[in-house]
Structure 1
């Protein structure tokens, strides 16, 4: 059983399914709904896992976080991981860190950064097509170089940030403008939404 609905619809759907009297392996893709709520909904014969595949799975380069309820058999864990490995990398993490991962790994961060950086590039004179190409290269190929190259992230930042250089000036300006604080506030807001989703489906 794969539960692939929005968090607000989980409670109603589980009520429609009702208690089960035989063993079933179930995987929930609903963000923010904890295993304890899922276990209570259909009864003890149902073995629950949570998985959060990214939309990039559509091209086979996704990342799926997976967490399992206690007592989930190792053979079935391997089966679930193999299923999601068909569309990218899998990563098993504790449920306590699941919502933080969900808030952080979203490809929407990349899309938002691309839209924002390209818009800023247009405002300093680039046409839209060139702005998108330049911003996509900075984000996409820049990350690819880190992922597939031999240099660590600190080494790449040091290499790029030549004192008095263009990149160093741009990064320093972003940091002074509250770049890290912006991400802190946005991720905390996402965590709060995940907790709200859980409360919405409790009871």
Structure 2
């Protein structure tokens, strides 16, 4: 299905280039079938050297693509959509937006004509093909959703959700990557404080976090079930967990996610 599909990623910043890196490592897309656009083209020279097509011409990129991934900042997206609308073709193009807060309805309004559209919310782990990507689409059939699955299942896992849940998915899935990275950093700093070298402490924290995630992913178990297996009466694990809870560990994580969701809901404003 993907053999002849060409992708244009408009706005190849951090998330756009992460998508490109992940796809190039996957099974369905080679760098030569992925075009990256950016105003400051010199920042894409490394990608050109790897075989990606790079250009600052969004219209040319769209004309040469079957799938158009919109990956610009929220404040720039209306202008970009207005720019490319004349060359978007219902029979050919599928448009996928990874722009925070930009609704399917708003995309349709700005484009001003029918188009198959999907929203996707990946995170930067897409660069190593481990993203959690939430997807939704506008119909009128499943082609946009199927294409989003094809692309993002190649670089991690996808989950179809209601579009109204996209802001929550942004806070937990996209922002959440930073929260878990900060937790790993904190664990490694704890290791240093109790005598481990910085290098060994980070290596242990990273693998331990990976193991914890894999336990849940493979078993389908609840975190508390796995915690119960390593907590014994008057043991060192439960002592550490209880101290973390006394210091507000869980409540801080929960509050961080809710604040991120509040902020995400304000990033795109069609009246601003």
**TM > 0.5 fold call:** yes
Structure 1 residue 180, shift from structure 2 partner? 2.1
Pair 1:127 & 2:197 matched: yes
Question: How do 1:16-165 residues align onto structure 2 when only pairs under 5 Å count?
Answer: 16-18=83-85, 22-23=89-90, 24-69=93-138, 71-106=139-174, 107-149=177-219, 151-165=221-235
Task: For residue 198 of structure 1, give the secondary structure of its aligned residue in structure 2.
Answer: coil
Where is the helix percentage greater, Structure 1 or Structure 2? 1
Paired with 1:68 and 1:164, the residues of 2 have a C-alpha distance of 51
Contact 1:29-1:52 within 8 A present in 2 as well: yes
Between the two proteins, the alignment pairs up a number of residues equal to: 201
Paired with 1:164 and 1:65, the residues of 2 have a C-alpha distance of 41
RMSD value, Cα: 2.1
* TM-score normalised over the length of structure 2: 0.67
Structure 1 stretches lacking a partner, 5+ long:
none
* TM-score normalised over the length of structure 1: 0.88
Offset from partner CA, 1:123-170 (integer Å, 9 cap, x none): 232220121122123211122123224754222111122121111011
Structure 1 residue 91, shift from structure 2 partner? 1.0
Structure 2 stretches lacking a partner, 5+ long:
1-67
Contact 2:192-2:198 within 8 A present in 1 as well: yes
More relative contact order in 1 or in 2 (CA 8 Å, sep 6+)? 1
Offset from partner CA, 1:3-60 (integer Å, 9 cap, x none): 1112232122123234568424211011222222212110131232101122222222
Task: For residue 63 of structure 1, give the secondary structure of its aligned residue in structure 2.
Answer: strand
